[in-house]
Amino acid sequence: MTTAPFGARLDDVVVRFGRSHRMLPTGTVVRDEAGTGLAGASLTIRPGTITGVLGRNGAGKTTMLSLLAAFTRPTSGTVVVGPEGAQEDPWENPWITSGTQLVRESGDLMNDEKLAVSLRYYADVRPCWSAETAERLLDLFEVDVRKNPSALSRGKRSAVGATIGLASRAPLTIFDEVYLGMDAPTRYAFYDELLADYAEHPRTILLSSHLVEEVERLFEDVVVIDRGRVLIAETAEQMRARGVSLTGSKDAVERLVGARRELHRQQLGATVQVTLEGGLDDDEAAAARSAGVEVGSVPLQDLFVRLTDPRSVRP
Ligand SMILES: Nc1ncnc2c1ncn2[C@@H]1O[C@H](COP(=O)(O)OP(=O)(O)OP(=O)(O)O)[C@@H](O)[C@H]1O
């Protein structure tokens, strides 16, 4: 089993879910339209990076992550996963799937057996499994492996998911919103463990989260999915350079804004704060300084919210 980090590529991938039939309380049967998970998504995941996967509810994050782990198959388009130069379709491909660990909020645990049984299963199917890491993290998160998963609180189940992801040491490790049930101290402990383990055992990690502010410091690359398509796929640094915030008197800020695209505007008494798309060149930065306008960076969370705002018209 190779331990080289896996990368992945999606080319024009469409995922359509079948039509379903539903009976209303009145007895009438209605036909639901087919749902679209992805509507032509193209993307490259660089091996050996931590990539944040962001998107509003229903954007297609889970669909995309499920494709990489071969839990779902594309309706059209291609998906390949694997180490550089040896990427293959992951569907029914044991070589690729044994190197891919998808951790979902549901936990994927055997609810009627003691937790120790599920852990043995993961140890068997993940060639790089670290029993020592699993034991240490379960101890850290105070999870009792003699309990059945169904007897664990939501937070403890999330901690088990986090443990499985880290202990798998899988060349592609995917965390799909696993931290939702965890309290803040547990989440922060998880982020620290993830960074420490990643530094020691380089691999590819994908993290989807709605807690963008909290996790953005972990990201090297960022993918933003919007309505089934990939809106942004670049380094976190490039994404941060997509916006700049200007704070100062209305007139001075207005002069700097000119005809540029505004992502957000906030009036604070006589002061206005505008988030602009793009950065400032040297002349603009000098003009801002001499006009007493404060130039700041924009957190990824704010950029993500503004760039995926359905009310904003894209150029
Ligand atoms: N099994 C399914 N049947 C029909 N439609 C589905 C199914 N699974 C997902 N969808 C639809 O596909 C779209 C993308 O869903 P997906 O779960 O991938 O989004 P998401 O970005 O993970 O959302 P969230 O942040 O709310 O978890 C949504 O419109 C959803 O309703």
Q: If you count them, how many residues does the chain have?
A: 315
What are the residues whose beta carbons fall under 8 Å from the beta carbon of 124, sequence distance 6 or more?
A: none
For every residue of 152-184, DSSP letters joined together read: S-HHHHHHHHHHHHHHH--SEEEEESTTTTS-H
Q: What is the pLDDT of residue 108?
A: 84
Ligand 1 pocket member 55 (CB < 6 A)? yes
Q: Verify whether ligand 1 is closer than 6 Å to residue 33 (CB atom).
A: no
- Give the domain-ending residue among 219, 237, 255: 237
Q: Which residues contact 259 (CB under 8 A, 6 or more apart)?
A: none
The pair of structure tokens assigned to 92 is: 């029914």
* Cα distance between residue 276 and residue 279, in whole Å: 8
Q: Tabulate helix, strand, coil % of the chain (nearest 5).
A: 35, 30, 35
Alpha-helical (H) ranges within 169-299 are 184-200, 212-215, 236-240, 250-257, 282-290
Residue 29 covered by a domain: no
Can you give the CATH number for the domain in which 71 is found?
3.40.50.300
The CA 136 to ligand 1 mean position distance, Å, reads 34
In a domain, 50, yes or no: yes
178 and 245 part of one domain = no
Looking at the fold, whether 249 and 183 belong to one and the same domain comes out as no
Question: Under the phi-then-psi rule, with left for phi > 0, alpha for psi from -120 to 50, and beta for the rest, what region is 160?
Answer: alpha
Task: Determine, yes or no, domain membership for 315.
Answer: no
- In the reported structure, the alpha carbon of residue 191 is separated from the centroid of ligand 1 by a whole-number distance in angstroms of 26
CB of residue 58 inside a 6 A radius of ligand 1: yes
Q: Looking at the structure, tell me whether residues 174 and 303 fall in a common domain.
A: no
Q: Are residues 223 and 248 in the same domain?
A: no
**What's the pLDDT at 76?**
95
Listed in sequence order, the residues at least 6 apart from 61 whose beta carbon sits closer than 8 Å to its beta carbon are 53, 54, 55, 176, 208, 225
**200 and 58 co-located in one domain:** yes
Q: Is any atom of ligand 1 closer than 6 Å to the C-beta of 63?
A: yes
Question: Which atom number of ligand 1 is nearest to the Cα of residue 66?
Answer: 18
Q: Of 150, 300, 145, which is closest to residue 221 (Cα–Cα)?
A: 300
User: ipTM, 2 decimals?
Assistant: 0.96
Q: How far apart are CA 76 and CA 38, in angstroms?
A: 10
- Specify if 314 maps to a domain: no
Contact in structure between 171 and 139 (CB atoms under 8 Å):
no
Closest protein CA for atom 2 of ligand 1: 17
Query: φ, ψ for residue 31 (rounded to 5)?
Result: -105, 120
d(CA 231, CA 234): 10
Is residue 281 a part of any domain in this protein?
A: yes
264 in the same domain as 175: no
φ, ψ (nearest 5 deg) of residue 314 = -85, 145
Give me the pLDDT at residue 120, please.
93
* Nearest alpha carbon to residue 15 among 51, 65, 88, 55: 65
Which structural domain range is residue 274 located in?
Answer: 241-307
For position 313, what pLDDT does the model report? Answer: 45
> Per-block average pLDDT, block size 10, for the chain (315 residues)?
86 87 82 83 97 94 96 95 94 94 85 89 94 95 90 91 95 92 92 95 94 91 95 94 92 88 87 90 90 92 86 53
- Render 90-114 in DSSP notation, one character per residue: -TT-HHHHTTEEEEETT----TTS-
Residue 315 has what pLDDT? 41
- The encoded tokens of residue 51 equal 């990539």
* pTM reported for the whole predicted model: 0.89
Does 198 share its domain with 272?
Answer: no
Q: Which atom of ligand 1 is nearest to the CA of 210?
A: 25
DSSP tag of 126: -
**Closest C-alpha residue for ligand 1 atom 4:** 35
Task: Assess whether the C-beta atom of 104 lies below 6 angstroms from ligand 1.
Answer: no
Can you give the pLDDT at residue 2?
55
